[in-house]
Structure 1
Amino acid sequence: MKNKFVQRLLQKEDPSVYQLKDGNLDPTLTTLDLIGLGTGMVVGTAIFTLPGIVAADHTGPAVPLAFIVAAIGAGLSALAYAETASVLPFAGSAFSWMNVLFGEFFGWIAGWALLAEYFISVAFVASGWSAYMQGFLASFGIQLPKALTGGFSPQQGSYVDILAAVAILIVGVLLSRGVHQVSRIENTIVAIKLIVIIMFVVVGATAIHPQNYVPFIPTHQPGTSFGGWTWIMAGASQIFIAYVGFDAIAANTAETKNPQKTMPRGLIGTLVLGTGFFIAVSLVLVGMFKYTNYKGNAEPAAWALRHAGHYITANLLSIVVIIGIFSALIAILLASSRLIYAFGRDGLLPKTLGHVNDKKVPNHALWTITVLAMILGSVFPFTFLATLVSAGTLVAFIFVSLGIYTLRKRERHDLPEASFKIPGYPYLPAISALFSAIIFWNLNVDAKLLMVGWFALGLIVYFGYGIRHSVLNSRQHP
């Protein structure tokens, strides 16, 4: 009986089943669309918010080093993602891949980790948008009632972030019209945003004070989470939110033209472009003002420009951020709706979530994640969300990196050969998994406790509902 139960947990999905079911989705995304989605997410809220917060809390002027460390870990994972996506071009990314490679239980664990990442990421991005919108309105003397300006924090007088909820709702409406139309909007927003980021770097560079870089790596202050290489690693862990864009790209593999070639190009292009912009922005930001000025500041880039006397550029940046952060919301709400769709497609959540309408949109999944994200984004404070979001990403990265070993054994047997292969096999996948595990270990206690609680809830859902309603129950696989 025990062996039968274990065999059921490890029962693998036939990739041809996913190929058939995902045929209802519309493959319209190109390499440029994927880079637009990925860059929209990677160079989203995080580039305008996290450099200042991480510099003040952990790294001081050395925040670019934290971005480089995070980029190395994310880059290794991106290579693993690229190979897996080229062989298994299905919706749901790591959830679907692990179902095929390791079995349903491991697929559920990977997918459940991603769901935490997506929920928190949508809320985090929307909260960042709200902070910039409030700063922009305040420059014209417009103030919202304090109770509506932030997550639930009675001691600060805020109870609900109404602007965050509105932002998520608007994006949900846009996505309900179809992925092809949204990708055009996304590419336009990303192009404008990159131009303004370049403008920030150029204008901000004229206000750099070299003394703000000294000492570049501050010594550790005992009893705090600031200073030294240990806290650069902690900063890298918090910054990892910037790289969830990789999974946001991969979740849309089933809606990509020629995914065997397009997906690796989109993933690697996003990594290179995003990392370059992060390093440039963070260097300029900590050079303009001493890092302590950015403590708890959710709009440090615009703040720095205003206080350096560049009011027109600051307001232009705020306007573009207000519009541009929508590109990150589009990318992650799109990816999260495809993950929820994949859960419904496989029967692990109610099958109605796997419904695809006549516009080839999984509308039930989309509106489920939209409503839940509106609640989460309007209730939880921005800085709290920023510390939690990376955990689910790192768990998924570990799974995908280790999955390469099983994938290679099956390529050219019951799976096609990858058009892109991670170099340095068999060493690099292990290094990638280890790197993500180290960064996970450096997350704060709240993030790790959240994941323990989230996985406990996931086990209850799986054994209470998922395993009994799974479509695998009606089929036998070797």
Structure 2
Amino acid sequence: MIKQLLAKKNLTKDLNKSGIQLEKTLSAKDLIFLGIGVIIGSGIFITPGIIAANIAGPGVVFTYLLAAIVCIFVAFCYSEFASAIPLSGSVYTYTYSIFGEFAAWIIGWSVFSEYLFSESSVAVSWSAYFQNFLSGFGIKLPDYLKSAYGSSGNLKGGFDLFAFLIVFFVTVLLLQGMKESVTINKIMVYVKIFIILLFIVVALFYLKPNNFSPVLPFGLSGLGRGTSLAFFAFIGFDIVSTASEEVKNPEKNVPIGIIASLMITAVIYSLVAFALVGAVHYSKLNVADPVSLALRLIHQNWIAGFVSLGAVLGMTTALIVVLYGGTRLVFSISRDGLLPKKLNNLNKNNIPVSSTIIFGLLSGLIAGVIPIDKLTELVNIGTLLGFSVVSIGVIFLRNSKNTKHLNPSFKTPGYPVVPLISFILCIYLMLNLQSFTWIAFGIWLLIGILIYIIYGYKNSILHNKKE
């Protein structure tokens, strides 16, 4: 039993393209757009104001730059793994290759929670923005269909209809094929970036130097805490690595996609924060829509509508990429036998249809019935656990008997210092999460362990030693 729990993935077979494989259709440019699409979501319209008003003041600009540096450390580690093991499944596959089956299941189950609850929470936010947009035309849903039961601000809520419908739409879109999904994602990203740049340009015309004094009104501690919060605005870049198996020349293009999308979004986040605190005093930005507030305060209401559109598009692209990442994770786990075989069946468009439908249906239903404040509890801890494993895993990648023969085209700079720093920072951020989050995560892990004992252990491809 111990031998099976520690059994490692047969990389020779998988890398030689035996078994069920996904079609290679994505370029480096496609990956960059996927990365930008998922990283720049609703957070860019919300977090800069919260961080500035409560934690870092005008120093919010530096919090995004520092957070980006931390993320780039993690991205370096992801890039080395992706160039060494260009297979679907991201951190689950990497863990299976160096730490064994049981550890891979735990990590895969944890990251599954990240994708599942991220998809659901973004869908709920999308629904709220879209309902606000429709209300401008006098269109309103019945209270029961506006939000889930227990949602703040709506005591009569029962089911969030629009949250369910947007996930359903994205699921149908992904079933059409990756080329179609990537094309629509690109269009939305272009429009979203245009709207963001429009805000930056307009706000800079109203920049007041006095708004930047003092730079750090809450002290250096505020800079540190602000960086911790800003870090989560970049979550999602890891999903780019789930596409490895569908990428042309993945050894080269996946690292480019991960690192380039991070650097581009870091610049965009910093520019938005700079324009925001430059145009409006940071003390006024503690609201849910700081960008819209800033535009109203500088009497540019006409642009506020474009910003709302940008928020909707930003969340739509995030929904596309997160759902994509979740389905590829389920596909990979199923292909190894730890989940039912039906979940890795491919349709005529070379899409894992069962895993896409089930993941989409499950996340849509969760979005419909669970309030957003409950959904977000499990997202961060699953993400950070995956980040920490990838960071420390690079050291094992270069030394494990199962992987040391690999020759990745990208190698983490500053090895082994950078992986160790990345690992320590991720663990530090995990330890700063609320106790409730740890309790909920513990329950989630227990459920995962039961699934592995009941199904995964007995049906594992490695356990049965069959194709």
TM-score under structure 1 normalisation? 0.90
Match of 1:254 in 2: 245
Match of 2:369 in 1: 379
1:29-67 per-position Cα deviation (integer Å, ceiling 9, x unaligned): 000000000000111222123223444554444333332
Paired with 1:391 and 1:21, the residues of 2 have a C-alpha distance of 34
Specify which of 30, 34, 40 is matched with residue 37 of structure 1.
34
**1:247-326 equivalence runs, <5 A:** 247-291=238-282, 293-295=284-286, 297=288, 299-326=289-316
Paired with 1:462 and 1:55, the residues of 2 have a C-alpha distance of 44
Specify which of 7, 20, 33 is matched with residue 11 of structure 1.
7
Query: Does residue 454 of structure 2 align to residue 464 of structure 1?
Result: yes
1:357 deviates by 1.6
Contact 1:237 1:390 in 2 (8 A): no
1:456 deviates by 2.2
Of the structure 1 ranges 320-329 and 466-475, higher mean CA displacement relative to structure 2 is found in 320-329
Equivalent residue letter for 1:459: I
Contact 1:123 1:374 in 2 (8 A): yes
Paired with 1:368 and 1:29, the residues of 2 have a C-alpha distance of 24
Equivalent residue letter for 1:444: Q
Aligned-partner SS, 2:7: coil
State how many pairs are aligned. Answer: 464
Match of 1:102 in 2: 99
Paired with 2:225 and 2:338, the residues of 1 have a C-alpha distance of 35
Match of 2:191 in 1: 192
Q: Work out the percentage of aligned pairs sharing the same amino acid.
A: 34
1:331-363 per-position Cα deviation (integer Å, ceiling 9, x unaligned): 111011000111211121222112112210001
1:419-457 per-position Cα deviation (integer Å, ceiling 9, x unaligned): 010011122111111111112222333333332222222
> Against the structure 1 CA distance between its residues 467 and 218, is the aligned structure 2 distance closer, same or farther, given a 3 Å change threshold?
farther
Query: Does residue 437 of structure 2 align to residue 447 of structure 1?
Result: yes
1:128-177 per-position Cα deviation (integer Å, ceiling 9, x unaligned): 22232233223344443344333432663233322221111111110000
Match of 2:339 in 1: 349
Paired with 1:247 and 1:332, the residues of 2 have a C-alpha distance of 10
1:99 deviates by 0.5
Match of 2:149 in 1: 152
Query: Does residue 391 of structure 2 align to residue 401 of structure 1?
Result: yes
Paired with 1:104 and 1:216, the residues of 2 have a C-alpha distance of 49
Alpha carbon RMSD of aligned pairs, Å?
Answer: 2.5
Match of 1:77 in 2: 74
Paired with 1:171 and 1:417, the residues of 2 have a C-alpha distance of 37
Match of 1:223 in 2: none
> Against the structure 1 CA distance between its residues 61 and 411, is the aligned structure 2 distance closer, same or farther, given a 3 Å change threshold?
farther
Q: Could you tell me which runs of 5 or more consecutive residues in structure 2 were left unpaired when the two chains were aligned.
A: none
> Against the structure 1 CA distance between its residues 476 and 403, is the aligned structure 2 distance closer, same or farther, given a 3 Å change threshold?
farther
Of the structure 1 ranges 101-110 and 283-292, higher mean CA displacement relative to structure 2 is found in 283-292
Paired with 1:371 and 1:286, the residues of 2 have a C-alpha distance of 40
Contact 2:97 2:403 in 1 (8 A): no
Match of 2:413 in 1: 423
Match of 1:224 in 2: none
